[in-house]
Structure 1
Amino acid sequence: MLMVKAIVRPEKSSEILAELNEAGYPAVTKLDVVGRGKQRGVKVGNVVYDEIPKEMLIFVIEDECKDDVVSIIARKAKTGQAGAFGDGKIFISPVEEAYTISSGLKGL
């Protein structure tokens, strides 16, 4: 199992979630977050905004689904054809075990 964490523009999250749901990946945790990337925020005049609003989408998936999920997120999160600074990041981490609390069953 893998945990996929995607940090994306808030206006893109609905499109991403709809496409993932259609592709058979309905389970998600969504968090409102703030932060900055390599560009160190956005400078407008003399003001630097270094806490840019984003959304973090968290999924746990089977290993063989990784390429499909990453492809959907990357395609739907990209701004325009070429993309732009601030479109987001995708992180992949291994998950050793998962349990459903209500049933106690192991696995997804």
Structure 2
Amino acid sequence: MKLIVAYIQPQRLNAVKQALYSKEITRMSITNALGCGQQGGFHENYRGVDVEVNLRKKVRVEVAINDDYVDKTVEAIIEGARTGKIGDGKIFVYPIEECIRIRTGEKGTDAIGG
């Protein structure tokens, strides 16, 4: 079992969701995030004051999956998120020690689902 966490540009979210759906991956969590990296920041003039904005808006996509879905999940996220420019994002893959479905008490790969 793995947890895939991806930070992507907000405007690429629909493309990422469609790419995941096309590979029959429909379970995910989406969260708004702020971050900075190689993309850097920019200067903005707000009410006459120069302000440096170095935290950019990003979207965090989390997908908990069984091991045999890792490659196609990562491929789908890359397919949907890639523009070829700095700021496309990052993908992290973490091992999951245990998963328990609250409703039924199922554990492990059965709890994550197909």
TM-score range relative to shorter protein = 0.7 to 0.9
SS state of the match for residue 100, structure 1? Answer: coil
Matched-pair contact (CA < 8 Å) for 2:9–2:59: yes
Report which of the two structures shows the higher radius of gyration computed on alpha carbons.
2
Q: Partner residue of 1:37?
A: 37
The unaligned stretches of length 5 or more in structure 2 are: 45-49
Please name the residue that 2:100 is paired with.
Answer: 99
Aligned-residue Cα RMSD (Å) equals: 1.5
Amino acid at match of 1:35: G
SS at match of 1:101: coil
Query: Could you say which residue in structure 1 is the equivalent of 2:67?
Result: 63
- What TM-score, normalized to structure 1? 0.88
How many residue pairs get aligned? The number is 104
Aligned letter for 1:86? G
SS across alignment from 2:71 = helix
- 1:76 maps to 80
**Match of residue 47 from structure 2:** none
Answering whether residue 25 of structure 2 is matched by residue 25 of structure 1, we say yes
Does the residue aligned with 2:77 lie in a helix, a strand or coil? helix
SS state at 1:66 partner = helix
Following superposition, the deviation at residue 38 of structure 1 comes to 2.9
Which residue does 1:53 correspond to in 2? Answer: 57
- The two structures have a TM-score, normalised by structure 2, of 0.83
